[in-house]
Amino acid sequence: MTKWENIRADYPVCDNCTYFFTNGGGPVSTPFVQKATALFTELSEKGRGVMPGWDHQADEAKGLIGEMIRAKASEIAFITSTSQAMILLYGMFPKHYEIITMRDEFPSSFVGWMHNGHTVHLVDSDDRNQISIADIAAKITPDTRILITSHVMFRTGFRQHLKAIGELCKQHQLIHIVDATQSFGVNDIDVQECNIDILIFHAYKWVTAGYGTGAMYVSRKILDQYPPQVMSWYNVEYEIADFQSVKDYTNFTPKKTATAFEPGTPPFVNILLLGEALKCLHRIGISDIEAYVGELITYLAQQASAHGIRLLSDYPPEHLSAIQLLEITPAQNEKVEKNNIQARYKNNILTVALNFYNNKADIDKLFAALAGA
């Protein structure tokens, strides 16, 4: 078996259907399920005694995330979702900081900011769902201080050129916030090279780590200049951290690392399962995953052309993502469903989300179904 066949064999969903729905939520692997069983078994046998080992594994996961994005472990915080991470950012920045984001963003990129009193300017996509750096730059004013963008747009699959946007932010001294939920695990991201100040990802899609966990990178510069406003018992340092002997806990200061964004006891099981998924990605190699999925993207485009199916996500190479869009009829989609192919279909658009457990045979099955309509 090839490397990719071995990986695919760890994902039972591939035996049950043809799965192109990673953009909505990825499946988990057999080793992941085994790890979950081991964790709950350990908890059942040791109770609180698991904590020394679990704390260490959580720290290892932070270190691995830092390594993957070229950051320090002290700049990584665990989150439960992208929305929760955004909520933690509200209040950190003055209300007069105006924000630029994209109209094609998932609502978590702007709803809360608007509700909390920030002025938000939206950059439109063109008629081919592409966003130009020039259009982003045209929205910048002297009051603009923050730029928020997804690495990959959830609806259109358009992948932003993060390095170019980072250079624009550096030129205008903007805080660069990136939602990488639709790209982390399938695209390499270098927060230093792309001048990213805050990077957020929820791990239930391409990371295949299940629901309820992810991570947030917050640069040392942001940590020093804009301390978080959401405080509770876990993300502060006490004058004396001995809860057994000290009765007065009113003397405290916010933590100086990204753990300042973890206000309460972390969801350790989810975090350790995230660590298991990240170790898998690390073993495979993000660059290898990106190259392999790139081959699938190319093959999908070739098959679409050969079958006379319109590909709506035919972007320049630097803007292609694992989310691909095909224009098909309701009758064709009925064939897709009857052939046990799982993919999102809305408004005559079939979203084909490709990951490392997919292969060319999956794509062949899709177009065979479409041809039979």
What is the pLDDT at residue 77? 98
What is the pLDDT at residue 69? 98
Q: Which CATH class, in words, describes the domain spanning 33-283?
A: alpha beta
Burial of 127 (0-12, 13-18, 19+ CB in 10 A): exposed
Please report, for the chain, the start and end positions of each structural domain, with discontinuous segments joined by +: 3-28+285-371, 33-283
pLDDT by residue, tens only, the chain of 373 residues:
799 999 999 999 999 999 999 999 999 999 999 999 999 999 999 999 999 999 999 999 999 999 999 999 999 999 999 999 999 999 999 999 999 999 999 999 999 999 999 999 999 999 999 999 999 999 999 999 999 999 999 999 999 999 999 999 999 999 999 999 999 999 999 999 999 999 999 999 999 999 999 999 999 999 999 989 998 989 998 877 777 777 778 888 899 999 999 999 999 999 999 999 999 999 999 999 999 999 999 999 999 999 999 999 999 999 999 999 999 999 999 999 999 999 999 999 999 999 999 999 999 999 999 998 5
Q: Which CATH class, in words, describes the domain spanning 3-28+285-371?
A: alpha beta
Length of the chain: 373
Task: Give the span between the Cα atoms of 71 and 63, in whole angstroms.
Answer: 9
What is the pLDDT at residue 247? 74
Contact 225, 246 (CB under 8 A): no
What is the pLDDT at residue 245? 75
Please state the pTM of the whole predicted model. 0.96
What is the pLDDT at residue 373? 55
Task: Give the span between the Cα atoms of 122 and 315, in whole angstroms.
Answer: 21
